């Protein structure tokens, strides 16, 4: 497949249907952009909501307190290591 050079002398006459289709394409791109933005915002809001601890769940920042609670309730400990405090 090759590339054909454009003929500078060739002029294509614009029709009213081309303008209508151009406007429709612009409106379609706008709607798609708004839809993507809305979906992104909803996903981010859902992720932020999901970050909240479940009712009755307490995260300990002190290992000794967590260990004592795990021993008292006879449950395992889930450790999360982070670089930031």
Segment 32-48, tens digit of pLDDT: 999 999 999 888 887 77
pLDDT of 14 over the 60 cut: no
Q: Please report whether residue 39 resides in a domain.
A: yes
> Half-sphere exposure of residue 53, counting CA atoms within 13 Å on the CB side?
6
Q: Please report whether residue 69 resides in a domain.
A: yes
**How many residues are there in the chain?**
85
- Report the first-to-last Cα separation within the chain, whole angstroms: 58
Q: Please report whether residue 3 resides in a domain.
A: no
Range of the domain at 28: 16-52+59-73
The number of folded domains in the chain is 1
pLDDT-wise least confident of 13-17, 49-53, 72-76, 78-82: 13-17
Q: Please report whether residue 31 resides in a domain.
A: yes
Higher-pLDDT residue of 50, 13: 50
The model's pTM is 0.36
């Amino acid at each position: 497949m090759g590339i054909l050079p454009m003929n500078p002398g060739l002029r294509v006459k614009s029709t009213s249907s081309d303008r209508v289709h151009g406007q429709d394409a612009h409106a379609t791109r706008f709607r798609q952009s708004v839809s993507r933005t809305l979906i992104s915002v909803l996903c981010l809001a859902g992720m932020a909501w999901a970050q909240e601890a479940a009712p009755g769940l307490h995260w300990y920042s002190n290992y000794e307190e967590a260990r004592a609670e795990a021993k008292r309730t006879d449950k395992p400990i889930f450790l999360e290591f982070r670089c930031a405090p």
